Chain A
Amino acid sequence: MARLANLETEYPVLDSTVRNFCASHGIFSVEDFLIHDLYMLAAFAEQNDSSERLKEGIAQVLSVIDDMHQPWLNGMELLEDAKRNKHVFPTGIQGIDLLLGDGIRVGQLTELVGPSSSGKTQVCLRTASNVARNHMVLYLDTGNSFSPQCIAYFLGKTISPSSAQAKNQFLQKVMSNISCHSVFDIFAMFDVLHQLESYLRCQDGRGGCQMRLLIVDSISSLISPVLGSSSTLGVINSKLMDTARALMTSAGYLLKKLAHQHNLAVLIINHTVGGEGGSSKPALGDSWKCIPHSRLFLSCDRGSNTYNVSILRHPSMASGKAARFVI
Chain B
Amino acid sequence: MEIWRLPISASQRGKLISAGYTSLSSLSSISSSDLARELNVSESEAMNILKVASHSRGSETSNASCSIVEGAQSAWDMLHDEESLMHITTSSADLDNILGGGIHCKEVTEIGGVPGIGKTQLGIQIAVNVQIPNDFGGLGGNSIYIDTEGSFMVERAFQIAEACIEDMSEYNRFLRKDFQECKIKMQPQDILENIFYFRICSYTEQIALINYLDKFLSENKDVKVIVVDSVTFHFRQDFDDMALRTRVLSGMALKLMNLAKRFSLAVVLLNQVTTKHTEASFQLALALGDSWSHTCTNRIVLYWNGNERYAYIDKSPSLRSASAAYSVTARGIRNSSSSCKRIKMM
Task: Using CB atoms and an 8 Å cutoff, list the residues of chain A in contact with chain B.
Answer: 1-4, 6, 28-29, 31-32, 115-117, 121-122, 125, 132, 136, 138-139, 142-152, 171-172, 175-182, 184-185, 187, 190-192, 194-199, 202, 211, 218, 220-222, 224-229, 231-232, 239, 243, 246-247, 250, 271-274, 278, 280, 283
Contact = CB atoms under 8 A, between A and B. Distances in A.
Contact of A221 (B61, B67, B253): B253
Given A179-B73, A184-B254, 18 more contacts: A2-B23, A116-B299, A117-B315, A143-B257, A144-B260, A151-B75, A179-B72, A195-B69, A196-B69, A221-B294, A224-B246, A225-B247, A228-B244, A231-B243, A232-B241, A243-B10, A271-B290, A274-B289
Given A2-B23, A28-B20, A180-B72, A144 B107 contact: yes
B290 A179 contact: no
Given A1-B23, A175-B76, A178-B74, A184 B246 contact: no
Nearest to A132: B75
B23 to A, nearest CB: 6
A272 B290 contact: yes
21 contacts: A1-B22, A1-B23, A6-B26, A6-B29, A28-B19, A32-B20, A116-B299, A117-B314, A144-B106, A145-B317, A149-B79, A175-B74, A175-B76, A180-B73, A184-B255, A195-B59, A195-B70, A211-B68, A221-B253, A243-B10, A274-B290
B190 interface: no
Given A144-B106, A226-B247, A194 B25 contact: no
Contacts of B277: 278
Interface residues of B, number: 67
Given A147-B318, A191-B56, A224-B250, A247 B4 contact: yes
Contact of A187 (B7, B25, B76, B82): B7
Given A181-B69, A185-B254, A224 B1 contact: no
A224 B255 CA distance: 13
Contacts of B1: 250
Given A3-B21, A194-B5, A202-B63, A115 B278 contact: no
Chain A contact residues: over half helix, strand or loop, or mixed?
mixed
B242 interface: yes
B254 A221 contact: yes
- B21, B290, B296 — most chain A CB neighbours (10 Å): B290
B295 interface: yes
A275 to B, nearest CB: 10
Nearest to A137: B75
B60 A195 contact: yes
Contacts of B255: 184
A251 to B, nearest CB: 9
A229 B79 contact: no
A225 B250 contact: yes
Nearest to B55: A191
A223 to B, nearest CB: 9
B254 A229 contact: no
Contacts of B297: 143-145
Contacts of B74: 175-180
A222 B258 CA distance: 12
Given A190-B5, A191-B59, A239 B290 contact: no
A1 B20 CA distance: 9
Contacts of B309: none
Interface in B259-315: 260-261, 277-279, 289-291, 293-297, 299, 314-315
B61 to A, nearest CB: 8
Nearest to B74: A176
Interface in B293-346: 293-297, 299, 314-315, 317-318
A225 B317 CA distance: 23
A225 B254 contact: yes
Nearest to A202: B63
B284 to A, nearest CB: 13
A25 B318 CA distance: 62
Contacts of A243: 10
A174 to B, nearest CB: 8
Contacts of B59: 191, 194-195
- In this complex, which of A122, A125, A145, A151 has the most chain B Cβ atoms within 10 angstroms of its Cβ? A145
B116 interface: no
Contact of B247 (A138, A142, A184, A228): A228
